[in-house]
Structure formats: structure tokens, C-alpha cells
Amino acid sequence: MMRLADVFRYSLQAMLGHRGRTLLILLAMAIGVAAVVVLTALGEGARLYVLKQFTTLGSHLVIVLPGRSETSGGPPPMLGETPRDLTLDDALALYQSHAIGKVAPVVIGSAPVSWQAREREVLVLGTTAEMEQVRQLKLARGKFINNNDPHRGTAVCVIGHTLRKELFGNQQALGQWLRIGERRFRVIGELAQQGHSLGTDIGDLVIIPVASAQALFNTESLFRILIQAKGRDSITPAMQAAEAIISKRHDGENDITVITQDSILATFDRILTALTFAVAAIAAISLAVAGILIMNVMLIAISQRTAEIGLLKALGAPDMEVMWLFIAEAGLLSLCGGLAGLALGMGSNFLLDQAFADFSIVAPAWASLGGLSIALLTGILFGYIPAKRAARLKPVEALTRRR
């Protein structure tokens, strides 16, 4: 039997002896593997980006929404049983629990905000000082609203980055009096630029004390309550406490919905991971196409090299050895193509990573290894059929053709 080193040397010489064919296969394989590496890197990058966005929302976050989406049986009650509103006192009562660290009530609405002749319709967020830490907001200038008594509405506001630019341009905003709806508020702080955060443009809003917002929109009810649990382990106790406390205050009626950021996070994580796998699978199809190309090119190679095959047999190579020679050649071709593709994909990832600073593009190890091994596997698998054909060639028929 032929030595392994000789098998590879022979295959390598065959590859170098047919450069055009070799380059064609290398290119097909390289594109396939590079596609896997780049696409999974993009999918993985998107996943990490979304997860990062979520964590900038604040950690250990529990959100209390009014109302409960569930179906209950029985005939309709005599009195209309609409869910009770969440009130500011409901929110403050949550401090009874040891699991709950900070509570930020939220009232939300839209109102025209004007300064001198400029007016802009923006989101108005009524909350308390705790919001700064719960949502991890960063200030560019000034300070956050800081009211000792949440029930008292003071006439101060913190404005977002975009709003400041639109209303004030290059002028000083701190200390100026804004008109929001029919009321006047003094600007005491400006938010730093943090971009979009899960659908809410925190650049284009104005934050005022919760009581001021309730007065502005003439409502007692809260849009939601944000809770920061004391730690990761306190998230579940905090949820249970929130349900218990509020249901007690609502005459035993469990009419709120409590969700955690982690559950949303987990869902997104699952969706995006599935997406990455799907994209990787699509890219793997291009590898299968490359495999079919290998098969075709190897079949052509064998019809061009029948004389060589006949010669090998005349010189005493059994069928199996001829088969192994051609399988080794296909395997070597796809391995080289795969390595070239890996280099190409990683190079592209590096460039993309440089181009998009806040979007990390690095292929996960499983994708690189998987791409390479699928390349090798398809090469050998699709190389098998031509190799089998080569092995079955009759030496006489192979030799009598002129070269």
C-alpha cells in the first residue's frame, strides 16, 4: 500500500499540475466557507448588540403593567370590573419589600414643548429621581430631577439631547424656562446622547416630576412602574412582592402584569440565536453547491486522466488505491479551499468589525470549525463518486486512449 505522505504528495502535484481546475474549486469552496464565517459573525453580532442594548436599560429590572391579560370564566359580573389604575401610592408602597431596591413610577404622554418661537411635540415622561439609576440615564450637564416628595410637582425638567439641539441650537439651555402644554418648567439638566433604547428615542423627550406630569395630563394613573430588584437573586422575590403588595391594595384583586427584563432578554436571545443558525444553514447550502462543483470538476479530471489511471493500474495499483488517490485529491482541494475561505471570512469580519465600531463582528468558533469540517466532508463525499468511477475504469480502455 502507498505511503500516506506519498498519497498527499501525489495529490498535491496533481493539484499544482492542473492550476485552472484547482483555482476554480478553491474559489468555490472559499466562498462557501467565507459565507458561513461572515454570516454567522453578523448574526452573532446582532445578537450581542441587542443583548447589550437591553443591559443598558438597567439591570435586575422588573416592570409592573396595569391590567392582566387572561381569560376568566363565568358570567359577566354585575358591575363593570375594569382593572384598577396603578397609582403613585401603589408605587411607593412597593418599598415595603426588602427585595425591591428602587422604584420609578412612570407617567407618559405627548405634549407641545416650546421655547421662544420654537415648538416641538415630544414625549413627556413623568417620574421620580430613582429613574436615573433604574434606567441608567447619563447626564451631559446639570442634574436630574430630585424631589423629596413625589406627590409634590415642582416646575423643573430634564431634556433629551435631540430636543436640546432642536429648541436651543447652540444656546445655553440650562436655567431656561420651557413651556410644556400650559405650564412652565425650568431646565435643570440635559441627558447625554445614548441613542435609541428599545424603541424609545431618549434623545427626544422631556422628563418632569411625576406629580407635575399627572397634573399636566390630568390623570392619577401610572403608565407603568419600573422596579430595580436588589440583586439578581432578588428578581423573583421582587416580582412576587410586587404582585402581593398591589393586589392587597387593590382589594385582593390581582389585576397587574409583572414582567422581567430577563424574560424579554431570554426571548430575544432565543430568537436571535435561531436566526444565526438559520443564516449559517443557508450559508452551508453554498458549501453543498461547492461540493457538487468539486464532483463535476473531479469527473472531468478523471476523463482527462484516464491514461494516468490506466497506467497506475498497470504499474500495480489496486482499485482501492486508485480510489484513495482521488479521494485524497478531492479532500485536499476542499481543505485548501476551506482554509482559504476561513482566512477570507476572518479578514472580512475584521474589516467589518473596524467599520462598525459599536457592532462586534466576530465569527463564533463553532462556525469556523463547522464551516471547515463541512467543506472537508462535502469534498470527500462528492469526491467519492468520481473516485469510485476512476477505480472501476478498465486499465486497457484507459491506456489505449492517446494522451
Residues binding another protein (CB under 8 A): 1-3, 6, 10, 13-14, 16-17, 307-308, 310-321, 394-396, 399-400, 402-403
Grid coordinates in use for 73? 370564566
Least distance CB 326 / another protein (angstroms):
14
Least distance CB 28 / another protein (angstroms):
23
The residues, any chain, with a CB within 8 Å of residue 390's CB and separated by 6 or more, are 302, 309, 322, 323, 326
Least distance CB 298 / another protein (angstroms):
17
Q: Which of 157, 177, 156 is nearest to 168 (CA)?
A: 177
User: In whole angstroms, what separates CA 198 from the centre of its chain?
Assistant: 12
Measured in residues, the chain has a length of 403
Least distance CB 375 / another protein (angstroms):
25
- For another protein, the closer of residues 132 and 308 by Cβ is 308
- For another protein, the closer of residues 26 and 33 by Cβ is 26
- For another protein, the closer of residues 205 and 312 by Cβ is 312
- For another protein, the closer of residues 17 and 67 by Cβ is 17
Least distance CB 319 / another protein (angstroms):
5
Least distance CB 307 / another protein (angstroms):
6
- For another protein, the closer of residues 157 and 309 by Cβ is 309
Taking the C-alpha atoms of residue 246 and residue 32, their distance in angstroms, rounded to an integer, is 57
Per the DSSP assignment, residues forming a β-bridge with 225 are 64, 105
- For another protein, the closer of residues 265 and 311 by Cβ is 311
Least distance CB 303 / another protein (angstroms):
16
- For another protein, the closer of residues 9 and 186 by Cβ is 9
